[in-house]
Amino acid sequence: MLKPPQLSTTEAYLWDKVQSGEPLSDEDALSLYNSQNLAFLGALATLLREKLHGKVAYYNRNFHIEPTNICIYECAFCSFARKPGEPGGWEYSPEEIEAIAERYVGTGVTEVHIVGGVHPKRGIEYYADIIRRIKRILPHVHVKAFTAVELKVMCARSRMSYEEGLIALREAGLDSLPGGGAEIFHPDIRNQICATKADASEWLEIHRTAHRLGIPSNATMLYGHIEKYEHRIHHMRLLRELQSETGGFNCFIPLKYRRENNALSHLGEVSIIEDLKNYAVSRLYLHNIPHLKAYWPMIGRVTAQLSLSFGVDDLDGTIDDTTKIYSMAGGEEHPAMTTEELEHLIYSAGYVPLERDSLYRPVRPSPVIA
Ligand code: SF4
C-alpha cells in the first residue's frame, strides 16, 4: 500500500513502523487511541491486515449451545446470568443438549461453540459427558468450549489441576477454547466489574496450559464501560506476551459492552467511531495474533461490515439464533445469517469471503483473489 500523503510526523513514523513489521509500543497504541484521524487508523490497520490476509475475510458455519445461564457470579456488565430458581434461568439436560446437536446433522456446520454460566454443581465429568454426546451425533464438528472462568471452577469442583481437567475434556472431544471471561485484566477495573471470578493470572495460566497441551484458543476484551485506554493496552500487552511465549491464540475478539439489563446500564454505550478505532488499534498492537474478529451478533451487521476496513478479517459465523448472551444485553435479537448473507456482506464491503473451519483452513478451495 502507498503511504498516504499529508501525514503528521507521528503518523508517518507509525506508518513506517507498521510497514517494517516492528511491534508497536504501549505509547504508540495510546497515541493511536487518542488520534481523531479515523481515516488514518483505517489505512494503517488495513496495511497490516492486508499483509496478513490480503483481501480475504473469513466466516464459518457454526451454532452455539449455552447449557445453562445459572451462575455463581454477579458480574456488573452481565445481562445473561440468573440465580437458581430466578425467572429466566435455564439448565438443559444432557438429552436436551443432544436434541440441539441433532438439528445440525447434515447441515454442513463445522463448529459448535459452548459457553454458559458457572453452574454451582457441575464439574469436569458432567461437561466431558456433554462433549461425548455431541461428538457421537456430530463427529466431525469442532468443539470450541468453556471459558477459562468456567474451567477454573469445574476443575476445582472435580479436584483436578488445570492440566488434568483439560486433558479429560480433550479426551472427551474438546478441540479448542473460546476467549471469553477475559473482560479487562487490570485489577483496578476487574475488581469493580467482576471481582470474584478468575483473575488475570488464572485466566492466562489456563490458556497457557491449554496451549502447552496443543489446545488452541482465542482471546477477548470487554471494552466500552469504565476502563480507560491504558487498561485496554495493559490487557492486550498480557495477551501479546503470552502469544510470544506459546503461539496458541488464533484470534482476538474485542467485545463491546452492551447496556440492556445489567448493573452498568447508566454508563451508556460507546460510539461506532470508538468501535472502529478499537478494532484498528487491536489489529496493530496485537501483531502476533493472526486473526481479528468482529462478532456480528454483538456489534451489528453494519459495524461488522465497516470493521473490515479497520483491521478485521473474520466476521464469525451463521449462528442460527442459538445464542442469547448478547441478545439479552441489547445485541441482535435473533442472530442468524445464511452463508449467502455473510458472503454478500463481505463482497459488498470490497473483500473476498472465504468459509473457514475453526483453525482458519478453507472449507472449500480458496477463491481466486485479485
Ligand atoms: S459474565 Fe459469565 S461469570 Fe459473569 S455473571 Fe455472567 S455468566 Fe456468570
Q: For 154-193, how does the pLDDT look when each residue is reduced to its tens digit (9 = 90+)?
A: 999 999 999 999 999 999 999 999 999 999 999 999 999 9
> What is the reported pLDDT for 136?
98
**Separation of CA 319 and ligand 1 centre (Å):** 21
Please give the torsion angle defined by the CA atoms of residues 311, 314, 319 and 320, in that order, rounded to the nearest 10 degrees.
100
Instruction: Select from 79, 100, 76, 75 the least CA-distant residue to 88.
Output: 79
Start-end of H helices in 194-290:
200-212, 229-246, 272-285
Residue 366 pLDDT level (bands cut at 50, 70, 90): low
pLDDT > 90 fraction of the chain, expressed in percent and rounded? 90
Regarding the domain with residue range 26-352, which homologous superfamily does it belong to in the CATH classification? Aldolase class I (3.20.20.70)
Q: Does the structure show a pLDDT above 60 at 52? A: yes
> What is the reported pLDDT for 368?
55
> What is the reported pLDDT for 2?
83
Contacts with 241 (C-beta within 8 Å, 6 or more apart), sequence order: none
**Separation of CA 167 and ligand 1 centre (Å):** 24
Which residue has better confidence, 2 or 246? 246
* Arithmetic mean of pLDDT, 66-73: 96
**Alpha-carbon span 366 to 368, nearest angstrom:** 6
* Arithmetic mean of pLDDT, 318-326: 84
- Cβ-based burial of 159 (10 A; exposed 0-12, middle 13-18, buried ≥19): exposed
Pocket test for ligand 1, best of 72, 77, 80 (most atoms within 8 A of CB): 80
* Atom of ligand 1 minimally distant from the CA of 194: 4
Do strands 249-256 and 291-292 pair parallel, antiparallel, or not at all (unpaired)?
parallel
Grid cell, residue 68, equals 445453562
Q: How far is CA 24 from CA 120, 122, 171, 246, 280, in A?
A: 42, 43, 39, 20, 12
**Alpha-carbon span 215 to 201, nearest angstrom:** 18
Instruction: Select from 227, 217, 150 the least CA-distant residue to 186.
Output: 227
Which residue has better confidence, 319 or 189? 189
Pocket test for ligand 1, best of 194, 221, 255 (most atoms within 8 A of CB): 194
Q: Does the structure show a pLDDT above 80 at 222? A: yes
**Separation of CA 74 and ligand 1 centre (Å):** 6
Q: How far is CA 157 from CA 48, 152, 154, 201, in A?
A: 43, 9, 5, 19
Which residue has better confidence, 319 or 325? 319
By the 8 A CB rule, do 279 and 270 touch? no
* Atom of ligand 1 minimally distant from the CA of 80: 6
**Separation of CA 84 and ligand 1 centre (Å):** 14
By the 8 A CB rule, do 77 and 262 touch? yes
**Alpha-carbon span 343 to 341, nearest angstrom:** 5
Residue 5 pLDDT level (bands cut at 50, 70, 90): confident
Number of neighbours of residue 91 by Cβ within 10 angstroms: 16
**Alpha-carbon span 286 to 39, nearest angstrom:** 20
* Atom of ligand 1 minimally distant from the CA of 77: 1
Pocket test for ligand 1, best of 77, 197, 220 (most atoms within 8 A of CB): 197
Predicted confidence (pLDDT) per residue in 269-296, tens digit: 999 999 999 999 999 999 999 999 999 9
**Separation of CA 165 and ligand 1 centre (Å):** 20
Predicted confidence (pLDDT) per residue in 105-115, tens digit: 999 999 999 99
Q: How far is CA 219 from CA 157, 185, 322, 368, in A?
A: 24, 12, 21, 30
Please state, rounded to an integer, the average pLDDT across all residues of the chain. 95
Contacts with 333 (C-beta within 8 Å, 6 or more apart), sequence order: 327
Residue 370 pLDDT level (bands cut at 50, 70, 90): very low
In this prediction the pTM is 0.96
* Atom of ligand 1 minimally distant from the CA of 183: 1
* Arithmetic mean of pLDDT, 285-313: 96
* Atom of ligand 1 minimally distant from the CA of 78: 6
Contacts with 305 (C-beta within 8 Å, 6 or more apart), sequence order: 345, 346, 348, 349
**Alpha-carbon span 35 to 13, nearest angstrom:** 14
**Alpha-carbon span 151 to 180, nearest angstrom:** 11
Q: Where are the domains of the chain?
A: 26-352
